[in-house]
Amino acid sequence: MTNRLLKCTATIRIKPKNCFKQAGWADADKDGILEKNGKKLFHRISRITAYEEAYMELLAAYLKRVGFDVHLTTMDDAGIFTFGNAGKHNILNMGWISTDPSVLSIVYNSANIAQGSAFTRFKSADLDNA
């Protein structure tokens, strides 16, 4: 995503298609899915049937209204972890519960990107040192 597109996410509920248009995305072939430089705006969402199926279907419906080509993948907890660890996702719903804030290092520390559970793959020295 470009900086312009990231800035637009704050207004995504107001004028989402305009944000994507400003970032260079358009529905050139009129199939309802936005394209840029010949690539479709694709989003892969994993879901666990037991407790998040309806939520992910609702999210997918909203993303399709904006112009995303959305693919839902249903799997169990182990599959979700493997999927996330391999970086095969765009959105991954994973929960960690703890009374100790150190649990945040599991999902945000850069050292956990390759073999752990920092599924965002976001690198930040500030987060690593917190």
- Within 10 A of 63 (CB to CB), how many other CB atoms are there? 18
pLDDT one-digit tens code per residue, 44-70: 888 877 667 888 888 888 888 889 999
Please list the helix, strand and coil fractions of the chain in percent, rounded to the nearest 5, in that order: 45, 15, 40
pLDDT one-digit tens code per residue, 65-105: 889 999 888 888 888 888 777 877 777 777 778 888 888 88
- Whether the CB-CB separation of 71 and 45 falls below 8 Å is answered with yes
Dig out the tokens for 36 from the structure: 């840029």
At residue 54, the pLDDT reads 83
CATH architecture of residue range(s) 24-129: Roll (3.10)
Q: Which amino acid is at 104?
A: L
Dig out the tokens for 56 from the structure: 């992910």
Quote the Cα angle for 77-81-84, to 5°.
135
